[in-house]
Amino acid sequence: MLEIHHFSYGWITPVLAYIMSVTGSLLGLRCTARARTGDGRGGWLISAAIAIGGTGIWVMHFIAMLGFSIRGAVIRYDVPLTLLSAVISILVVWAGLFVVAREPFGRYSLFAGGAVTGLGVGAMHYSGMYAMKSDAMIGYDVWIVTLSMVIAVVAATVALWFTLVITGIWATIGAALIMGVAVCGMHYTGMASMNAHHMDHAETPHGAGAMELLAPLMISVSMVTLVLLIHVGLTEVDERSMMPGPARPMPETRPAPEHRPGWSLQAGSAAAARGSGQDEPVPHDYRTAGLYPPAADYQAPGRHEMAVPGDWHSDRYRAG
């Protein structure tokens, strides 16, 4: 059995891989949230799939693969299969996010979307490993492979649950950190299932070296991710600036009391008012203050009994 190294450059490759996975997941989850609440849902879902499937999964995988080596064996990468693995990752992640955003299965949509997204992580990993060619014979432990797929599905479901249930940027960051753990945990668990053996009369594999192929591809995808990140940030700032501010409460006003016909003020010309059948209006200062004149100021026309107010909170009085 040949010796396999996963950290040929120390901790720089796993740390950088995790950072890229979290960055792609953060951007993708923000785009997914925009697809569920804003306009242009189709475009936001495509952007989310490119961010998660391209940067969060594919770029992370091949950054980690830069630290992978087999002592005494040559490693090359099949260019068409490597590009196909990126397409598979983006398409499968898009399908999972579409299920979560549109909820075609009701309350089971979260589990369906998490399963599809997790399987997309695994599909990208093993298709990318198939694109790796070597003059050594490579095998896998089926139980560890199964465990890696379970890790991917469970962690992807939890990350999507964070996005659906908890709102806000901090929830998205937490979901992205979990998603990064899902992708990296799945990757290194799957890599732990590998074993390599020397193969007699093996031919030198054809293809591109790791730095010749992966470096320009990873830089290109990372630049696309950066542009998407800036675009999402700018659109969120624009939406916040267009939101109306809190409405100012209107000052509370009390309606002026109505003067019921048949009532007159007992002052000055009260007798003349009774004789003419006309009522004098309530004094202006009472109306503006929202108060009523004292009961002693009111007298029903043609009678000598004082009026008793019925309800001081209403605008009507009852004659005594």
pLDDT, one tens digit per residue, over 57-96 is 888 888 888 888 888 888 888 888 888 888 988 898 888 8
Same domain (yes/no): 34, 176: yes
Same domain (yes/no): 169, 58: yes
- Judge whether 250 lies within some domain: no
Q: Over 70: is that where the pLDDT of 168 sits?
A: yes
Residue 290 zone, left/alpha/beta (φ > 0; ψ -120 to 50; rest)? left
Tens digit of each residue's pLDDT (9 = 90 or more) over 3-46? 888 888 888 889 989 998 898 888 888 887 777 776 677 888 88
Q: Over 50: is that where the pLDDT of 132 sits?
A: yes
What is the tally of structural domains in the chain? 2
Band (225; pLDDT cuts 50, 70, 90): confident
- Contacts for 126 with CB less than 8 Å, ≥ 6 apart: 145, 190
Residue 56's CB is within 10 A of a number of other CB atoms, namely 31
Same domain (yes/no): 197, 283: no
Percentage of the chain beyond pLDDT 70 is: 70
Short-list 255, 256, 254, 273, CA closest to 298: 273
Short-list 64, 70, 69, CA closest to 12: 64
Residue 126's CB is within 10 A of a number of other CB atoms, namely 17
Same domain (yes/no): 279, 221: no
Residue with the larger pLDDT of the pair 128 and 317? 128
Same domain (yes/no): 158, 225: yes
Tens digit of each residue's pLDDT (9 = 90 or more) over 170-191? 878 888 888 888 888 888 998 8
Q: Over 60: is that where the pLDDT of 193 sits?
A: yes
Same domain (yes/no): 218, 277: no
Q: Over 70: is that where the pLDDT of 285 sits?
A: no
Q: How far, CA to CA in Å, does 186 sit from each of 114, 203, 211, 262, 288? A: 14, 31, 23, 90, 76
Buried residues in 280-308 as b, exposed as e (16+ CB within 10 A): eebeeebbeeeebbeeebbbbbeeeeebe
Determine the structural domain holding residue 215 and report its residue range. 4-241
Tens digit of each residue's pLDDT (9 = 90 or more) over 246-265? 555 555 555 555 555 544 44
Same domain (yes/no): 210, 292: no
Report the first-to-last Cα separation within the chain, whole angstroms: 113
| Tokens coding 32 | 């997914």
Among 191, 212, 241, the domain-final residue is 241
Same domain (yes/no): 234, 262: no
Among 215, 241, 267, the domain-final residue is 241
For the chain, the farthest-separated pair of C-alpha atoms sits apart, in whole angstroms, at 131
Identify the DSSP state of 296: G
> Tokens 């990372």 identify what position?
222
Looking at residues 276-304, what average pLDDT do you find? 49
| Tokens coding 169 | 């940027």
pTM > 0.75: yes or no: no
Residues 109 and 103 sit within 8 Å (Cβ to Cβ): yes
Residue 148's CB is within 10 A of a number of other CB atoms, namely 24
